[in-house]
Amino acid sequence: MCLAVPMKVIQKKGLTATVELDGVRRKIRLDLVEKVQLGDYVIVHAGFAIEKLDRKEAKKTLNLVQQLVQEMKK
């Protein structure tokens, strides 16, 4: 099973970006998503942004992931 997570774009140069989630940074490719800007949230899978999310939806998804992690720790 694979997991794709929302990450925030913190740097961008051409079709390459640096994204961050909870202090973890990754370099990714933007070939599959148009008009990505700094501060946008993208769904990242296998090193590629596969979808752009609005900020509200990204925060909602990240909150759900955090809840799942907390439940798994119990």
Q: What is the pTM of this model?
A: 0.85
Domains in the chain, please, with CATH? 5-73 (2.30.30.140)
Place of tokens 């599959």: 32
| 5 vs 43, residue with greater confidence | 43
Per-residue confidence (pLDDT) for residue 22, from 0 to 100: 87
- Judged against a pLDDT cut of 80, whether residue 17 lies above it is answered with yes
Q: Give the span between the Cα atoms of 13 and 63, in whole angstroms.
A: 29
Looking at residue 2, its pLDDT comes to 65
Contacts of 26 (CB under 8 A, 6+ apart): 7, 18, 19, 20, 44, 47
Residues 33-60 have pLDDT tens digits of 999 999 999 999 989 999 999 999 988 9
